[in-house]
Amino acid sequence: MNVSHRFAALAAAGLTLTVAATSQVFVLPNAASASVVPVNQVQQAAPGGAAGTQGASALANKSLATKNRIYRTGRLTDVNCRPGSLPSGSTAAYKRFLTRVTNCLNKAWGSQFRKARMPFSKPRLRIITRKVNTPCGKWSAGADGYYCSANRTMYMLITRKQLRQPFPLGIARLMAHEYGHHVQQVSKIWSYYWTARNRAGSSQRLALSRRSELQAECFSGAFMRTLRDGRDFSDRQWDYTVNWFRNNGHKAWRHNDHGRGPTQARWMTRGYNSGSPASCNTWAASARSTT
């Protein structure tokens, strides 16, 4: 198998798990696809989440989403992240990679919150090799990880398939996306989201979900820009990743709660090209740009 074919095979394997994992973040009661079990909806209403603790308080007004101070912090800080190589077949190497990427995310976003003069706390990382129940509900079939707002924890599942065919860029992008939801939680962007969602009808809930998912995708792109020097991944790999989402990103979501594939790719690219949270304000964007 030549290099280009090998890359395509690894990329396809890695990106498949990436899409599956992001399904764990926003699953609406009326928008569960065949690959996602509705029980995971408990995550969205679990005590301790933004909606459960703050409800309709003054903190949950729309300006927290549309004019959040995190947007005024400039480019995401380059923390000289070097997660290292990810050889196939090694659980220890995989765990080390996940831990290093999380540490990079902690440093980069911690710096942004300091610039914004906003309080910040790191999410927990729990690496698992078998499916577990969480405070947000039962582990969903086919999922490789998710961010649970109830205990502010990123769960990452290492499967045999991933060990055989690891795709570092796809894994790092997935973690950056899940971490983007933690940013929404800590910055109180989700305070507005939960309040608005609880008062919305089914169609508007889907629209709100898309804004949140697309913002997390944009945040992930901003972080991935800090890794663009070629030592961790090539421009060709990034372009392949974006193009994959453009063509396939919507296929897991028949109710369109994550946005169409081209829309996902567009917000991912916005974050990557700018490197700044300012480009990720989906809450002030037009409805047309978040379809």
Euclidean distance between CA atoms 222 and 275, whole angstroms: 4
Judged by average pLDDT, the poorest of 139-148, 186-195, 273-282 is 139-148
* Domain membership of residue 77 as a residue range: 63-289
DSSP per-residue letters across the chain: --HHHHHHHHHHHHHHHHHHHHTTT---TT---TTS-GGGGHHHH-TTSHHHHHTTSGGGSTHHHHS-GGGGS-SPP----------TT-HHHHHHHHHHHHHHHHHHHHHHHHHHT----PPEEEEESS---BTTBSPPTT--EEEETTTTEEEEE--HHHHHS--HHHHHHHHHHHHHHHHHHHTTHHHHHHHHHHHS-HHHHHHHHHHHHHHHHHHHHHHHHTTTTTTS--HHHHHHHHHHHHHHTTTT-TT-SS--HHHHHHHHHHHHHH-SGGGG-GGGS-GGGG-
Examine the pLDDT at 95 and tell me if it is beyond 60: yes
Q: Is residue 236 part of a domain?
A: yes
Instruction: Report the number of distinct structural domains present in the chain.
Output: 1
pLDDT at 73: 98
List the strands of the sheet with 145-148, edge to edge.
124-128, 153-157, 145-148
Q: Model-level pTM?
A: 0.81
Residue 16 domain flag: no
**Does any domain span residue 37?**
no
Tell me, yes or no, whether 31 lies in a domain: no
Q: Is the pLDDT of residue 277 over 50?
A: yes
Write down the pLDDT at residue 214: 97
> What DSSP letter does each residue of 275-291 carry, written as one string?
-SGGGG-GGGS-GGGG-
Does the pLDDT of residue 3 top 60, yes or no? Answer: no
CA 96/CA 265 separation, integer angstroms: 29
Asked if the structure places residue 50 within a domain, the reply is: no
Q: Residue 171 pLDDT more than 80?
A: yes
Q: Let me know if residue 10 belongs to a domain.
A: no
> Quick one: average pLDDT of 262-285?
97
130 touches 116 (CB < 8 A) = no
pLDDT band at 242 (very low <50, low <70, confident <90, very high): very high
Residue 142 has a pLDDT of: 60
The answer to whether residue 2 scores a pLDDT higher than 50 is no
DSSP letters along 168-180, please?
HHHHHHHHHHHHH
For residue 52 the two structure tokens come to: 């459960």
The reply to whether 130 falls in a domain is yes
Q: Is residue 5 part of a domain?
A: no
